[in-house]
Amino acid sequence: MFIFSDGFLFWIHTVDLNDQIHMVDLENYQNTVCDETWRVISELASEVKDRKLRISFFNSTPQGGGVALMRHALIRFLRLMGIDANWYVARPKPEIFDITKRKFHNVLQGVADPKVRLSDADKEAFIEWSNENVNRFWGDRSGPLQNSDVIIIDDPQVCGIIPHIKRLAPHTTRIIFRSHIEIRADLIRDNPDGPQACTWNFLWQFIKQADLFISHPVDNFIPDEVPRRNVVLLPAVTDPLDGLNKELNANNLRYYRSVFNRVCMDQGSNEVDWSRPYIVQVARFDPSKGIPDVLESYRLLRARMDSDDRFNDEDVPQLVICGHGSIDDPDGTIIYEQTYDTMATEPFSQISSDIIVARIPPSDQLLNIILRGGYVALQLSHREGFEVKVTEALAKGVPVIAYQAGGIPLQIIEGVTGNLVPIGDVQAVADKLFILFEQPEVQQKLAQGAVKYLTEEYFTVWNAIAWLFMCNEITRNTSDSAGLVGEQATRDRNGGLGDSKWLRTFWQEKYNYKGRKHAKDVQL
């Protein structure tokens, strides 16, 4: 819901028009998991409700990007379970988002120009914006900072409010910082005076006050300064029932395909020929997403296929590159325009009519139909936390070819659900694509494996278990900075980020979980 305050339009915590729109029932979610998983979530929800815990999430955008998608789904499900959970979004300010995207996000991921530096003026502006959101919207006696048992801070954009939480509710509120991006811990470590260290050192003064640090399950995502006893590993998820993933009948497919092509036409892009196969990458127009590599891989593939008499014109694939925008992402327009500039160069002159590039409005069904109809999906990110679009493609039976970036290798079983290639090896991507078009039976085998070996862990119910378990445990002992989860984490016999640091290990042990195995444990 958007409201006006002091002349500004801002977002307050509502999902599905404050629960007035009814999308799904608990029974629908129960059907997405095994009985053992549902037993655990039911027991956990009862405990949290009995303790009357109040849980609040904070981030910088209500739509666009994986964080917002996860929060919409999670809040919807938790409220169906009767949990007191809310979501608060900071008042947008473009000049601040320019800092948080280009000098926080891009720098920490190592995709920014090495000359980009966080200035003192940037730091002051960020702190002032954080203070403004607290003072005007969240910090009064009836506000969420003083009336939550657990507060989750999603990414660095809103970490500046953490000191205010400590000041306003020093003994009653526990704080979890959730990092959704690939933080280049190696660059911070290897160059103490570099841009990554400069940005991280500024943010760490806020983040270190949190009780838990939640990261994607990759060691290099966690800077050395973060005490490992306070670290828990948790993958990103998608929702099986929302517009991104739900099954669509033939009439819906036809309708949303026509809408998709209308969007393309309005933007001056080529339209999709639905009678021909296509390769698809769904991602934000972001420097880390490898869109130039997608274009070059496709060019190499077409050069090979167009010179091979075995392929008829109707068998030659198109390329679709599309994604939503995000209000806190100033890079989107720049990368979008650079993509068209590349397509206008001489090497692409013969194939540019088969390349469809579109910025999609906030309609999940449009991304659903474009992924669902893909012959193969690409995810050529150079830097990636844990890409839910990989999960969403696999869930639709679409094999994925991706770079070995960040958490993506955890999502794909090589040769079973897709293929992994070294970052930047566009020729290898083109070769893998050629095999799938040359040998359709290989594509079919990967498509079947994609559905067969998908794990419940990458969807909403498991994610809800993780959050409820953390909130339940971290509030049991407010005298210890890390709570019970942190105490258990110190008993990692491997001494590093071994499997015992995965959050699933804690709740599966406590609740004697005997459900489905994780995908990596399946005997192939």
> From CA 370, how far away is CA 452, in angstroms rounded?
21
Is residue 52 domain-shared with residue 141, that is, in the same domain? yes
310 shares a domain with 257 = yes
Instruction: Find residue 151's DSSP bridge partners.
Output: 56, 175
Predicted pLDDT at 492: 43
Rounded Cα distance between 340 and 337, Å, is 5
Domain count, the chain: 2
Looking at every residue in the chain, the average pLDDT score rounds to: 89
Which residues of the chain fall short of a pLDDT of 70?
1-20, 325-331, 477-500, 516-524
423 and 306 fall within a common domain: yes
- If we measure between CA atoms, which residue out of 29, 40, 27, 77 comes closest to residue 57? 77
Residue-wise pLDDT for 151-209, tens only, equals 999 999 999 999 999 999 988 899 999 999 889 999 999 999 999 999 999 999 999 99
Span 334-393, pLDDT tens digits:
899 999 999 999 999 999 999 999 999 878 899 999 999 999 999 999 988 788 999 999
From the CB of residue 32, how many other CB atoms can be counted at a distance below 10 Å? 18
pLDDT of residue 325: 65
371 assigned to some structural domain: yes
CB-CB contact of 109 with 286 (8 Å):
no
d(CA 179, CA 342): 33
User: Helices 66-80 and 388-395 sit at what angle, rounded to 10 degrees?
Assistant: 70
SS3 22: coil
Q: In the numeric block, which tokens belong to residue 173?
A: 């509120």
3 within domain boundaries: no
Q: Which of 230, 209, 213, 173 is nearest to 53 (CA)?
A: 173
Mark whether 182 and 271 lie in a shared domain: no
Looking at the domain assignment, is residue 339 inside a domain? Answer: yes
For residue 185, the tally of other CB atoms under 10 A from its CB is: 21
Phi-psi region of 499 (alpha: psi -120 to 50; beta: other; left: phi over 0): alpha
Alpha-carbon dihedral sign for residues 299, 300, 301, 306: positive
Which amino acid does the sequence have at 68? Answer: A
Q: Is residue 70 domain-shared with residue 150, that is, in the same domain?
A: yes
What's the one-letter identity of residue 485? V
- Rounded to two decimals, the pTM is 0.89
Q: 272: which 2 tokens?
A: 């999709």
Largest CA distance in the chain: 73
In a domain, 355, yes or no: yes
Specify whether 233 is located in the same domain as 274.
Answer: no
Is residue 118 situated within a structural domain? Answer: yes
Domain C-terminal end among 456, 482, 508: 456
Rounded Cα distance between 370 and 281, Å, is 9
68 Cα distance to chain centroid: 8
- Which residue type sits at 438? E
Residue 6 lies in a domain: no
What is the structure's pLDDT at 479? 52
Q: Is residue 380 part of a domain?
A: yes
Tokens of 284: 């934000």
pLDDT on residue 217: 87
Determine the Cα–Cα distance for residues 172 and 313; give it in Å rounded to an integer. 66
Which H/E stretch holds residue 282?
A: strand 278-282
Q: Are residues 32 and 165 in the same domain?
A: yes
The CATH number of residue 358's host domain is: 3.40.50.2000
Q: Which whole-number Å values give the CA distances from 224 to 167, 378, 489, 496, in the listed order?
A: 27, 32, 16, 12
Domain ranges, residue 199: 11-239+459-521
Q: Are residues 280 and 208 in the same domain?
A: no
Are 342 and 295 in contact by the 8 Å Cβ rule? The answer is yes
Do 451 and 309 reside in the same domain of the chain? yes
Give the domain-ending residue among 456, 479, 508: 456
In the three-class reduction of DSSP (H, G, I as helix; E, B as strand; rest coil), residue 86 is classed as strand
Q: Confirm whether 354 is domain-assigned.
A: yes
Q: What is the pLDDT of residue 19?
A: 64
One domain for residues 154 and 55: yes
